Amino acid sequence: MIRIGLLGTAKVAEYALVKASENTAEVCLAAVAARDGDKAALYAERYGISASYTGYQALLEQTDIDAVYLPLANHVHEEWAIKALRAGKHVLCEKPLAPNAAAAERIRQEAANHQLVIWEGFAFQHHPFWQEVLALLPELGKIEHIEASYCMPIPDKSWIVYNYEHAGGSMMDTGCYTVCMARQIAQHAVNGNAGIEPSVTTASATPLKEDVRIDRAMKADLDWGGGMTGAIHSSIWSRSLVKISLQVSGEHGSLHAYNPILPWFWNRITLRKQDDIIRRKIPGGTTFEYQLRDFANAIKTLPARSGMLDDAVNNMRVIDEIYRKAGLPLR
């Protein structure tokens, strides 16, 4: 069993680790750390975690902890991912891996010095729903266009997603998912585009009035060459309140995936080919349960796949270019 520690008490940890570990026999949530020791102790008591620590470094120094989950704010992902690796811990880092591509590259370089697993937490890609989407792509033939949207309102402007110093913005919160989805579809297409990254042709941001460096919404157009294009749309506060979808058009038809990010709530895949329409709903638990199980299995079957970090760096390169095209500073 993999003994995992939690760095911080961010809300997402309740779903991504605490509840997920309850349904994942391969993992034991063994410790939690927070900058405030009393907060860590209360969290441990609330969720039945056996150990709590004041400060993240104190947890990293524990020899009985195999891995850590890192749900901290984006701007400190690099610091604590590298410290965890140097402490000999496997790392599951909440998305995005880093605030920009340069920071992601430094994490990749550090990881090359260790025989450890480090993953970026795009949990959706571990769910049977996403695997079904990828399996259906050959039905479309040559892919022509990919559209990915993740719009989810966050009305509280005091939250860190609206804080530039914390590497906030819609692209960093929901938009990184859209880039990841579009890139994965392109990588699995029959076009022969494997290994080719998209160029960003246009990008436009809807800035936050209180801080114009923050994008509360973003749209961008992508181009892989060879007749394959894409468009992404992210929002944390705009007229597009809720939209979580992926649409792929090909020479033989189209595929529409509804709610690929949170499929355990509700999902549907619609495949259209000429006069045929196929609709499927894919059952399953939370994306976090599948991710945690796969993470534990990756630890057990080392050596780790270096491609996971390569993908994280490339995802951040696209996000950086979107910010440049939109005229906004990098995070």
Residues with active-site annotation? 95
- Residue 96: cis peptide before it, omega within 30 degrees of 0: yes
Return d(Cα 15, Cα 305) in angstroms, integer. Answer: 26
Give the rounded distance of the alpha carbon of 64 from its chain centre: 28
Q: How many CB atoms lie within 10 A of CB 277?
A: 10
Q: Report the sign of the C-alpha dihedral through residues 232, 130, 197, 71, in that order.
A: positive
Bridge partner list, 270? 256, 279
Return d(Cα 10, Cα 107) in angstroms, integer. Answer: 22
Helices (H), the chain: 11-13, 20-22, 37-47, 56-60, 77-86, 101-111, 128-136, 170, 176-188, 287-300, 307-325
Return d(Cα 170, Cα 234) in angstroms, integer. Answer: 6
Tokens of 140: 């479309």
Return d(Cα 288, Cα 285) in angstroms, integer. Answer: 8
Return d(Cα 203, Cα 329) in angstroms, integer. Answer: 13
